[in-house]
């Protein structure tokens, strides 16, 4: 399977954000595309969902934020 280009990743990320009504600037899409291109990660639906959750989630502490993203909040609620 041929490797995807930065532009290909950017287009896929931008279309995913638009479909899911996620506000995403072009510069953020480009940075994420560059990271994905460098790692050549297959950007499937589940992976993109996780990446957007990590990008758009705001929490005051890093440990608590990581637990909340992964679904293990304080009371088991997210």
Average pLDDT over residues 31-55: 76
In a domain, 19, yes or no: yes
Q: What is the 3-state secondary structure (H, E, C) of 4-44?
A: CCHHHHHHHHHHHHHHCCCCCCHHHHHHHHHHHHHHCCCCC
Place of tokens 């589940």: 46
Place of tokens 């072009």: 26
In a domain, 24, yes or no: yes
41 pLDDT band, cuts 50/70/90, is low
The total domain count for the chain is 1
In a domain, 75, yes or no: no
pTM, whole model, 2 decimals? 0.52
Q: Domain range holding 26?
A: 6-57
Residue range 49-60, pLDDT digits in tens: 777 777 776 656
In a domain, 70, yes or no: no
In a domain, 77, yes or no: no
């Amino acid at each position: 399977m041929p490797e995807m280009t930065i532009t290909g990743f950017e287009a896929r990320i931008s279309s995913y954000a638009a479909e899911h009504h996620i506000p995403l600037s072009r510069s953020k899409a480009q940075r994420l595309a560059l990271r994905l291109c460098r790692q050549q990660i297959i950007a499937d639906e589940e992976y993109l969902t996780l990446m957007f959750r990590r990008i758009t989630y705001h929490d005051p502490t890093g440990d608590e934020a990581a637990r909340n993203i992964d679904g293990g909040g304080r009371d088991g609620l997210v």
